[in-house]
């Protein structure tokens, strides 16, 4: 089944859509394997940015003039595209943010205004990116709530039995990622959401790594909050999305005050706008929001199922080639259910040294702790080399990485 869809995957055409891929660095063809950090942009996305500034640039929601109405309509149409993409029920459940980090901070700051109290428990996991740890720690410091951590096994999977033991009537919120950026583990979030709900806890899903690679249906998952970043979804930086269930967002106080988020202001009393504007103070990233919808349209034209199957093939090919080529290579994170991320160590060579040599040979990987130091602490290491694939990558690029690793190995081992 997978083979067929991979054979049908229009890789040559897809690569033509990404101008940045067709260049050499240090005289070598660029191989871009840092997609978990940020993905490349198709030409339709790049063009849409200049179209916005050439044709309709204007502030939104306030102007009666033509351009302002055009920009407002495009921005709100984009919100509707995002709603459909996540299968949210209502478009005002889609809040524009700066990205995943901003979405998590929005929820933590808002819940911190009296909705999470001393003695409440917030559950995160050992797999989290720092942006799904630190805002909750800050909230715990302010509120007296207690942070609890779901541990992982040696494969880098959340230990479900331990998760269930941690749940209690005190659990107010579970904040967990859908896919780990450091290791690619895909978490069984639908089941976890259901279990957390049995205890009356709210659930926030960090979807930074999932939305670019798989279809997400927030109603089917029954997620209370789901957040992601535009720049990992082949869209611009500086824009992202927080989905929240209407009844929760209604109950939550605003996070930032300013223009756009008010109904009426006087020195005696200010009243707030309804959703989604209550959480969107100030002039937003208008072009970013509009263009994010173009990125979503682009991905949907290819199809997320086809993308997932193709990336899975790259994951298996890369894993097999790495393992068979280097007997002293150690893969960090071998979850049964895994996305197209391979974190590894080459003998006892420092990941940074490998990364520098790979770079000179045209191969862009990420080295270090990947903003997930608790994972590194679990394995007793300082960092890894991480190759993360997108649907515009190819097996021959993986071969180029293997050759480059061979050079690095010979020089450094
Ligand atoms: N969570 C995960 C799982 C991530 O991979 C990232 C980005 N590496 C973030 C959160 C933070 O995303 P951003 O920097 O776009 O806010």
* CA-closest candidate to residue 346, choices 374, 377, 381: 381
State the distance from the centre of ligand 1 to the C-alpha of 208, rounded, in angstroms.
5
Residues 3-27: what's their mean pLDDT? Answer: 87
Mutate to test the pocket of ligand 1, among 208, 234, 236 (most ligand atoms within 8 A of CB): 208
Give the closest residue (by CA) to ligand 1 atom 8: 37
Amino acid 7: pLDDT: 58
CA distance 115 to 112: 6
Amino acid 62: pLDDT: 80
Query: Is the alpha carbon torsion for 386, 392, 393, 397 positive or negative?
Result: negative
Residue 58 has pLDDT above 60, yes or no: yes
Tokens of 360: 């000179």
8 A C-beta contact, residue 228 and residue 178:
no
Residue 285 has pLDDT above 90, yes or no: yes
Decide whether any atom of ligand 1 lies within 6 Å of the 384 Cβ: no
8 A C-beta contact, residue 69 and residue 325:
no
8 A C-beta contact, residue 334 and residue 177:
no
Decide whether any atom of ligand 1 lies within 6 Å of the 229 Cβ: yes
Question: Which domains does the chain show, CATH number per domain?
Answer: 2-32+303-412 (3.90.1150.10), 46-300 (3.40.640.10)
Amino acid 8: pLDDT: 82
Residue 1 has pLDDT above 80, yes or no: no
What does the pLDDT look like over 339-359, one tens digit per residue?
A: 999 999 999 999 999 999 999
CA distance 46 to 40: 10
Helix axes 395-412, 304-325, angle to 10 degrees: 30
| Residue 198 CB neighbours (<10 A) | 9
Amino acid 4: pLDDT: 44
What does the pLDDT look like over 164-192, one tens digit per residue?
A: 999 999 999 999 999 999 999 999 999 99
Residue 49 has pLDDT above 80, yes or no: yes
Q: How confident is the model at residue 76 (pLDDT cuts 50, 70, 90)?
A: very high
3-state secondary structure of 56: helix
Active site amino acids: 371
Give CA torsion, residues 164, 168, 170, 173, to 10 deg.
30
Decide whether any atom of ligand 1 lies within 6 Å of the 212 Cβ: no
Give the closest residue (by CA) to ligand 1 atom 4: 208
Please enumerate in sequence order all residues whose Cβ is within 8 A of that of 326, keeping only pairs 6 or more positions apart, or say none. 346, 347, 405, 409
Decide whether any atom of ligand 1 lies within 6 Å of the 370 Cβ: no
Beta bridge partners of 240: 97, 229
CA distance 242 to 201: 18
- Is residue 294 classed exposed, middle or buried when 0-12, 13-18 and 19+ CB atoms within 10 A define those classes? buried
Decide whether any atom of ligand 1 lies within 6 Å of the 369 Cβ: no
Mean of per-residue pLDDT scores for the chain: 97
């Amino acid at each position: 089944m997978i083979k067929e869809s991979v054979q049908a995957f229009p890789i040559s055409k897809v690569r033509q859509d990404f101008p940045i891929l067709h260049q050499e660095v240090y005289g070598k063809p660029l191989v871009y394997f840092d997609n978990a950090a940020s993905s490349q942009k198709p030409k339709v996305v790049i063009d849409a940015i200049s179209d916005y500034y050439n044709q309709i640039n204007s502030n939104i929601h306030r102007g009666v003039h033509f351009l302002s109405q055009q920009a407002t309509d495009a921005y709100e149409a984009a919100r509707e595209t995002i709603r459909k993409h996540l299968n949210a029920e209502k478009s005002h459940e889609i809040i524009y943010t700066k990205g995943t980090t901003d979405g998590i901070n929005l929820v933590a700051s808002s819940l911190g205004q009296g909705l999470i109290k001393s003695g409440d428990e917030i559950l995160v996991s050992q797999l989290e990116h720092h942006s799904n740890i630190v805002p909750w720690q800050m909230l715990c410091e302010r509120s007296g709530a207690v942070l609890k951590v779901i541990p992982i096994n040696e494969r880098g999977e959340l230990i479900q039995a331990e998760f269930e033991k941690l749940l209690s009537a005190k659990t107010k919120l579970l904040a967990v990622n859908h896919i780990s950026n450091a290791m690619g583990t895909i978490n069984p979030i639908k089941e976890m959401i259901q279990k957390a709900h049995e205890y009356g806890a709210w659930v926030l899903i960090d979807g930074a790594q999932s939305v670019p690679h798989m279809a997400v249906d927030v109603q089917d998952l029954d997620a209370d909050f789901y957040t992601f970043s535009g720049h990992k979804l082949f869209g611009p930086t500086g824009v992202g999305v927080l989905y929240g269930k209407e009844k929760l967002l209604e109950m939550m106080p605003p996070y930032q005050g300013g223009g756009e988020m008010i109904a009426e202001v006087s020195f005696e009393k200010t009243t707030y706008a309804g959703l989604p504007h209550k959480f969107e103070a100030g002039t937003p990233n208008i072009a970013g929001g509009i263009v994010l919808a173009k990125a979503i349209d682009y991905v949907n034209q290819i199809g997320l199922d086809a993308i997932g199957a193709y990336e899975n093939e790259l994951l298996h090919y890369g894993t097999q080639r790495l393992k068979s080529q280097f007997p002293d290579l150690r893969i960090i994170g071998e979850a049964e259910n895994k996305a197209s991320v391979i974190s590894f160590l080459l003998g006892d060579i420092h990941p940074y040294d490998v990364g520098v040599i790979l770079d000179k040979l045209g191969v862009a990987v990420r080295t270090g702790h990947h903003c997930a130091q608790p994972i590194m602490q679990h394995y007793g290491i300082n960092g890894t080399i991480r190759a993360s694939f997108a649907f515009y990558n190819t097996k021959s690029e993986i071969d180029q990485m293997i050759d480059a690793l061979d050079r690095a190995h010979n020089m450094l081992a």
